[in-house]
Structure 1
Amino acid sequence: MEKIMKKIEYLLLLRNEFIMRKNNEEIKVTSKELSSILSTSDRNTIYLIKNFMFMNYLKWIPGKGRGNRSSLIFSLTFTEVASLYVKEMVTENKVKDVINFANSYLSEDGLHEIYRLLHQSLGPQIEIKDSELTSRIKLLIPQEISTLDPINVQLYSEAHLISQIYNTLVIFDEKQEKLLPSLAYDWQPKEGGKKWTFLLRKSVQFHSGDFLTSKDIAFTFNKLLNTPCSTIHSLIKDIKEVEILSDHIIRFHLTEVNYFFPRVISSFQCAILHHLYDHRDKPNGTGPFFVKKHDQQFIQLEAFQFYFQERALIDQVDIWMDKFSQQIPNNMSQLETTAIESKTEDITHHQQLLGSRFLIFNSVKKCPVLDKNLRLSLINLVNPTTMIKELGGNRISIANSFLPKISVNSKTKNFSIERAKNFLKESNYSGETLQLFYFHLNEGHETASWIKKQAEYIGLSININPISPEAIPKLQVNSHADFILFSSILSKDTELSLLTLFESEFSFIRPYLPKEVKKYIDNQLRFFKRSEDTNERYQSLLKIESYLKENLVLHFLYHSTNTLNYQSHVKGMEFNSYGLIDFKKIWIQPDFL
């Protein structure tokens, strides 16, 4: 420990021990007690104290006479010491070391302050070298990015990064409500929507320097078809053949009519891979950024000079990942700009997210929640109005649908504890402990804990269990959970998002449904795919949602908001449906202009 710790880390450790003591306050302590706090030898403790005194960080007055305690007087608060430490480490690009040190040695209060200072010290930065501007963004996000493989992505933060590294054949524009060209510039149906032909752009380069051809498209979709645990697999399984007509013409043969097929393959999970792709290799896409560095705690993206569309204006994006920082509000899109000395005004962007937080009851496991009365008891118990009022945070409105615009026009239901008690009495519940599973992201734990506490009021026993994203494709939750707390954030293509939820065998809904419910859904989706009319398709999706509510399959809770703070010299801010920014469009206006 002595050899690897910096002097300022010892000072931080010492100030953390006395974090509630004020500057210039006399603290009675012995040098042996300090050695114990610092986990170092008496000799090294004396050396450190002398060094700190020389730097005017503290005063040390030795006790006179045997048995008299010495006096320790700090000149800097914990926050002041932590600021010096964070500034030094960020300058040296050692954010991971700050995170590891703070989580290993500091108190809860100290840890919280370190994360606050880290977020302030990161953000957009400009460097000038040889009269040339280099701009970069530094971010700390409160979760681990477990994969950059489009096929295996589960989290919206991962999907956001995929869109910066890869491209799909086509993209959906929510403002125009139509598909736009991307890697393909034209596409046409044949045989009433059973065949789809796409014309590819020429001279599109992968980050490796190789040019895109139909061979890469065929490889990507054959790989998807051979990956049944992928979320998108259920939506593309009707691909019978991927036919290469030439280097830049590709044709998909489907088993049945599907006019929605081009929208399906606009999904980030259909991002095009190089035909020599191996998941163990560094990602190799055609997107605006390439992955320069990547490990468990850090991702560095750099602008791709040969991007087939406009080159990104920002040069580099540094992202540190840390699941412990979930105690800080979600900062995936946080752009604090204190790193730039500027007098520009602060801007706060609030965005209601599409989708909702909801409970789904597990109908594929023999468990107490198969009892209709117990489900009604839980539905009345978990009152969204009370939850929002008591917990607040980013919970902004009651949900009665995945879509906020539907919820707004819905009647508020009258849930009550008394009804919950009555339904519980009428059920066959006999004291079993119900297993509630939840994603330990953002406010998931807080919401699950609140549900557990509510259940205690009526004599229901609930155990809460965090889920890892890796557990979903392995169907590990199905056999253990009685009910699950999920949050579904919809993409800009709400039709595609809802289709995925209802059809994918690895979504947050379908794996927990009984056969008769799946049969109803599939009949509606068959009509959905054959229709070219947006309104008809939309009504099919709403019918499925209503059916799930009427059959007590799920219970909607609330809609959330995402907040982004930034300063006015950060330009080109555009927000996707997740409330996150498109890195390639932002730029930093220097103060000297």
Structure 2
Amino acid sequence: MSGQRLKSQFQRLYHHFSGQDSDTNLQDIAEVLFCTRRNVRMVINKMVDMGWIAWEPAVGRGKQSHLTFHSTDTELQLNHARKLVAEGKLEPALEALGNNADKLAQIIQEQLGHTTAHGKQIVRLPYYRAFSNLNPLQPLRRSEQHLVRQIFNGLTRINDEKEEVEGDLAHHWEEITPRHWRFYLRPSVRFHDGRLLESRDIIATFEKVRTHRLFNHIQRVEAPFANTIDIHLSMDDHRLPDLLTNLVAVIQPADVDSTDQNVLFPIGTGPYKVIQNDNKRFKLEAFEQYFGFRALIDMVDIWMLSEVASCYLQPASDVTQLGGVSASSRLKLDEGCNYLLFNRVSGLPVDPQWLAYLQGRLTALNILQRLNTDQIGDFRLTNAYGILRGGRMYL
């Protein structure tokens, strides 16, 4: 008997007795469930095993057995929906809840955030789209850039707190000349697939990286000694360690290619490795052989929530705060801007008079007044005067 059919029979039984503990007999239950007395015994035993009911059979002829409900129709419905949500099946979960979006939002909220399962620290987060490209050599969106930082390492990195360059895969470096830099590698670094990081991986990575305009002054990369990398340049560069913190310069295995497998499941040396990446879930697991401090969070589980879960993504103001911390203290203003870039080769933007007219009408301040500022509380949109702070604004 399928689990769904058993749930349907429980619902029928629960509704018949209005959820009240009752004295009854097998024949009455058989009529309620439309089955034989033999089958009804099997159904009752399964419901007892599931913990939904208790059944006290009568002793003696003409006496009534006693039925006790340990669960409710609503509890079964919610548990079924919770299971569907955990599997990423949001549309079936919404249907199981009678298309009640508020209940779905509540279930999603219960399962997101920080939790502990089987002794592991897990953080579940909502997101609105899948991560289809995690190749650092390709242009990446902001969220992908952050994830790639958790998967890969470069020779150097930026210490955000100190705002300075520090070693990553390289523990030390020296400027032999402005066109010749030497980097000393950490020993016994491993990729997520267990392979040791070798000099050839770094050399192969920079063969690909040097096609990027920021790195086209790299002439050659070689390994004069074990755990040592020399980078030769075609022009002076006193800030090469700073440049190597760029996401493009993270180190990949020498045999990596651009297949879908490597784009979706990249192999790096970082603190987290990708274990699932599809349209429903994205999972990062702490890499036990990471050369640095082991990540405190064992797993990051990101759920791709569709439009049916928008009620959670835009929660009401009375959503319970986590750990007694106010929402405002957990928010961080994300600096950035939106801008319009016109094609000046053809069409109306070629006409300077038309462009001047549009600039006068379509100012950022005018646009700002038309936007709904009630969506993000005190963190509202502001007028931008350039892509970077302190710059002028141009259309």
Q: TM-score, normalised by structure 1?
A: 0.48
Q: How far apart are the structure 2 equivalents of 1:211 and 1:368?
A: 57
Give SS of 2:255's match.
coil
- Out of 196, 213, 228, the position equivalent to 1:249 is 228
1:88 aligns with 2:83: yes
The amino acid of 1:356's aligned partner reads: C
1:376 aligns with 2:376: no
Partner in structure 1 of residue 116 of structure 2: 126
Give SS of 1:152's match.
coil
Give SS of 1:157's match.
helix
CA shift at 1:396, angstroms? 3.0
2:220–2:233: 8 Å Cα contact kept in structure 1?
Answer: yes
Distance 1:376 1:274, change over 3 A: same
Structure with the larger RCO, 1 or 2 (CA within 8 Å, 6+ apart) = 1
1:106-150 deviation per Cα after TM superposition (whole angstroms, max 9, x unaligned):
99x85576356414422211135xxxx321112221122111222
Partner in structure 1 of residue 278 of structure 2: 295
The amino acid of 2:368's aligned partner reads: I
1:190–1:196: 8 Å Cα contact kept in structure 2?
Answer: yes
- Out of 324, 327, 346, the position equivalent to 1:345 is 324
1:119–1:140: 8 Å Cα contact kept in structure 2?
Answer: no
Gaps of 5+ in 2: 20-73
- Out of 138, 148, 159, the position equivalent to 2:145 is 159
Distance 1:242 1:56, change over 3 A: farther
Distance 1:326 1:110, change over 3 A: closer
1:141 aligns with 2:127: yes
- Out of 367, 372, 375, the position equivalent to 1:391 is 372
Give SS of 1:398's match.
coil
Runs of 4+ with deviation above 4 angstroms: 3-8, 54-57, 79-85, 99-102, 104-107, 109-113, 325-331
CA shift at 1:323, angstroms? 5.5
The amino acid of 1:219's aligned partner reads: A
Partner in structure 2 of residue 455 of structure 1: none
Partner in structure 1 of residue 298 of structure 2: 315
Counting only pairs closer than 5 Å after superposition, residues 51-62 of structure 1 correspond to structure 2 as 53-54=15-16
1:143–1:325: 8 Å Cα contact kept in structure 2?
Answer: no
Distance 1:379 1:270, change over 3 A: same
- Out of 272, 288, 312, the position equivalent to 1:305 is 288
Partner in structure 1 of residue 156 of structure 2: 170
Give SS of 2:337's match.
strand
2:104–2:309: 8 Å Cα contact kept in structure 1?
Answer: no
Give SS of 1:278's match.
coil
CA shift at 1:88, angstroms? 3.4
Q: How far apart are the structure 2 equivalents of 1:326 and 1:370?
A: 44
Q: How far apart are the structure 2 equivalents of 1:326 and 1:276?
A: 40
| C-alpha RMSD over aligned residues | 3.7
Give SS of 1:219's match.
helix
Distance 1:115 1:257, change over 3 A: farther
Distance 1:315 1:376, change over 3 A: same
1:482-525 deviation per Cα after TM superposition (whole angstroms, max 9, x unaligned):
xxxxxxxxxxxxxxxxxxxxxxxxxxxxxxxxxxxxxxxxxxxx
Q: How far apart are the structure 2 equivalents of 1:242 and 1:152?
A: 21
1:167–1:287: 8 Å Cα contact kept in structure 2?
Answer: yes
Give SS of 2:300's match.
strand
1:206-240 deviation per Cα after TM superposition (whole angstroms, max 9, x unaligned):
111222122111111212345xxxxxx22112222
CA shift at 1:286, angstroms? 0.8
Q: How far apart are the structure 1 equivalents of 2:10 and 2:358?
A: 59
Please state which structure has a larger fraction of its residues in strand.
Answer: 1
**Percent of residue pairs bearing the same amino acid type:** 25
Q: How far apart are the structure 2 equivalents of 1:326 and 1:265?
A: 40
Partner in structure 1 of residue 62 of structure 2: none
2:81–2:97: 8 Å Cα contact kept in structure 1?
Answer: no
2:131–2:277: 8 Å Cα contact kept in structure 1?
Answer: no
Give SS of 1:373's match.
helix
Q: How far apart are the structure 1 equivalents of 2:157 and 2:278?
A: 29
CA shift at 1:359, angstroms? 1.6
Partner in structure 1 of residue 255 of structure 2: 276
Q: How far apart are the structure 1 equivalents of 2:203 and 2:231?
A: 9
1:2-60 deviation per Cα after TM superposition (whole angstroms, max 9, x unaligned):
x999579xx9xxxxxxxxxxxxxxxxxxxxxxxxxxxxxxxx9xx89836735969xxx
Which protein shows a greater Rg?
Answer: 2
Distance 1:136 1:100, change over 3 A: same
2:84–2:93: 8 Å Cα contact kept in structure 1?
Answer: no
CA shift at 1:162, angstroms? 0.9
